[in-house]
A and B are shown apart, each in its own frame.
Chain A
Amino acid sequence: MRSIHVLPMILAGGIGERLYPLTSNRAKPAVPFGANFRIIDFTLMNCVCSGFRNIHILTQYHTQSLTKHRTERWNFLSSELGEYIELVPPKMRAPTGVYQGTADAIYRNLDLLDLSRPDVVLILSGDHVYRADYRRFIDAHLEREADVTVLTGYVDPSESSAFGVVNVAENGRVVRFIEKPADPTPYATNGRCQINLGVYCFNTTFLVERLVADAKKKTAHDFGKNILPSSVERGAVQACSLDVISPDEKAYWRDVGSIDSYFETSMDLLQTPPAFDLSDRRWPRNSRFREWVPARYSTSARIDGDTVHGRNLVSSGVNIEGSQVVNCILSPGVNVGKGCELEGCILFPDAEIGEGAKLHRVIVEEGVKVPPGVRIGAKWSSGDLTLSKGGVMVIGANRNPANAAFEPQGAVEIPPRAEMPLFVDRLQEPTLAYLGSVH
């Protein structure tokens, strides 16, 4: 049997503007997530669990945050065995040195493809939360003799306009890409739209041909907008649904590109059962990854005199002194003083909450010290902190809440949670035989 040489390339060069201030001093994929992870860890775990240990991460902004994370967390790959996670910043050869788009990022690194000469290139994103066995994805790509295979998911048409919608023929062949349609309804099948999840498997020569052709034109140099529509015209583009390659019982995928999607995805970890279970023993199975999973426990707390039931995710090194904490995610080194009331909060590493502070739906940046007795959250005050559309407040690293105006300024209305894409259609039950083959 012929072995297939696969080269995963993770796109991690987005500026992460919609996640600001969480991206003010770190790359988007390096934003802490799920108490003890960074967003990029899920894509990296998918790669390593799929057996791919030669990974390029194309970085651009705040590369240092990803370098630090790789050094601290992903230092176990063996260079003696030829394994690596390589960070690739732009070469900065011309005044237009930064990557002009996702396709341009790969185009400017054609030398890497030239050096390793893979059969297929797996193009991944560093800011998606999901579990996938990429071997199954590549199997589907090879079986169908595609030039490109696109990972897709199903969402309600009302949620599709934020994505690239894919029209697929019965044989799985993609016949059309419609980028962020204003009205996706005409493209729905059986009441659901199939959307592009930003994960692609390309035959290498086909990829290079498309990238070179695109580089010669005035385009956005973007996979979704340019490369895929031109690929449909010039080659065989196949769709592969996430549920086919997901080890989860209910396939789950989220793009954590904005404060609200970041917050809601985090809260999904606290549902019962969790929409995305960090402690699922089947994937990843590697014992090293098991050590990264935070403790998850159910809790009841008295918040504003009312009893609230929920869950917490608590990392190692957290210290809580007799406080009411519910539906919170606490990263390593977090310190919560006496008599605090915290509900729906995400505390980044080494955050400190002073005695008696009340926080509601707040993300507290790494190392921020919240003074005693303050009340922070949209239901009390907007202050001058970042407040998302969904009513999530963020205390950035360069902010000292002691100086901020926390006098009540009238409550800010919190809109009901928007339904987020969750892909459950055409589910294949994961079989034990398959799961047993995962190393």
Chain B
Amino acid sequence: MKTVLVADDEVSIRKLYHRELSREGYNVLFASNASEAIQLSRESHPDLVILDIRMPGMDGIEAMGRILEENNELPIVINTAYSSYKDSFLSWSADAYVTKSSDLTELKDTVRNLLQEKKPALIG
């Protein structure tokens, strides 16, 4: 089972994502801020990280930089309500940028595709 780490400071988002991503068959871990996300990515070795940008304290872009410095192959999805961060070069390190929506289809598709890309090729 693939593990997905979600970092978001809003409880309602975490609840929604828990329900939706669990239904997709993922083991879902949660961080309520950036520091927790860095810690969990280090300790729990998730297969993919979904990062909100605007969180109290350290923001998601800074957290992404630190997470990638420790594991540069870990797929990261930026998931924010603001599309403006897309222009920032710093957000380009993410594998995908998905603007928040009540419809999680795009996010779920993105997560599925990134995890499939990462899957090692079957021999034979």
Complex contact A216–B73 (CB within 8 A) = yes
Decide if A215 touches B93 in the complex (CB within 8 Å): yes
Chain A 179-222 interface 0/1 with B at a Cβ cutoff of 8 Å (1 = within)? 00000000000000000000000000000110010011110000
Q: B72–A217 contact, CB under 8 A?
A: yes
Given the contacts A215-B72, A216-B72, A217-B72, A94 and B66 also touching, CB distance less than 8 Å: yes
Interface string of A389-426 (1 = CB under 8 A from B): 00000000000000000000000000000000000000
Residue of B nearest to A219 (CB): B72
Minimum CB–CB distance from A180 to chain B (whole Å) comes to: 25
**Number of A-B pairs, beta carbon distance below 8 Å:** 36
Chain A CB within 8 A of B55 CB: no
Task: Check B43 for interface membership: any CB of A closer than 8 A.
Answer: no
> A212 — which chain B residues lie within 8 A by C-beta?
92-93
List residues of chain B with CB within 8 A of the CB of A114.
88-90
For the complex, is A301 an interface residue (Cβ under 8 Å from B)?
no
B70 proximity list for chain A (CB < 8 A): 94-96
In contact, B92 and A94 (Cβ under 8 angstroms): no
User: Does residue B69 face the partner (Cβ distance < 8 Å to A)?
Assistant: yes
In the assembled complex, A111 has its CB within 8 A of some CB on chain B: yes
* Residue of B72, B89, B90 most packed against chain A (CB within 10 A): B89
Interface size grouping (class) on chain A = 10 to 19
A212 to B88, CA, bound (A): 13
A255 smallest CB distance to B (angstroms): 29
CB distance from B118 to the nearest CB of A (A): 11
Is A2's CB within 8 Å of the partner chain B?
no
Compute how far the CA of A218 lies from the CA of B92 in the bound complex, rounded to whole angstroms: 18
Interface residues on B, range: 10 to 19
Q: Find out whether the CB atom of B90 lies under 8 angstroms from the CB atom of A94.
A: no
Q: Could you say which residues of chain B place their CB within 8 Å of the CB of A93?
A: 65-66, 69
CB distance from A123 to the nearest CB of B (A): 15
Task: Verify if A113 is at the interface (C-beta below 8 Å from B).
Answer: yes
Task: Confirm or deny: A162 has a beta carbon within 8 angstroms of a beta carbon on chain B.
Answer: no
Contact in complex: A110, B90 (CB < 8 Å): yes
In the complex, A209 Cα to B93 Cα: how many Å?
Answer: 9
Which chain B positions have C-beta within 8 A of A111? 89-90
* Chain A residue nearest in CB terms to B75: A216
Interface check B68, CB cutoff 8 A: yes
A209 and B72 contact, CB distance less than 8 A: no
Q: Within the assembled complex, what's the spacing in Å between the Cα atoms of A208 and B90?
A: 9
Provide the bound-state CA to CA distance between A208 and B69, in Å: 17
Closest 4 CB pairs of A and B: A94-B69, A114-B89, A110-B89, A208-B89
Chain A residues near B (Cβ < 8 Å): 93-96, 110-111, 113-114, 208-209, 212, 215-218
28 contacts between A and B (CB under 8 A): A93-B69, A94-B66, A94-B69, A94-B70, A95-B70, A96-B69, A96-B70, A110-B89, A110-B92, A111-B89, A113-B89, A114-B88, A114-B89, A208-B92, A209-B92, A212-B92, A212-B93, A215-B68, A215-B72, A215-B93, A216-B68, A216-B72, A216-B73, A216-B95, A217-B72, A217-B73, A218-B72, A218-B73
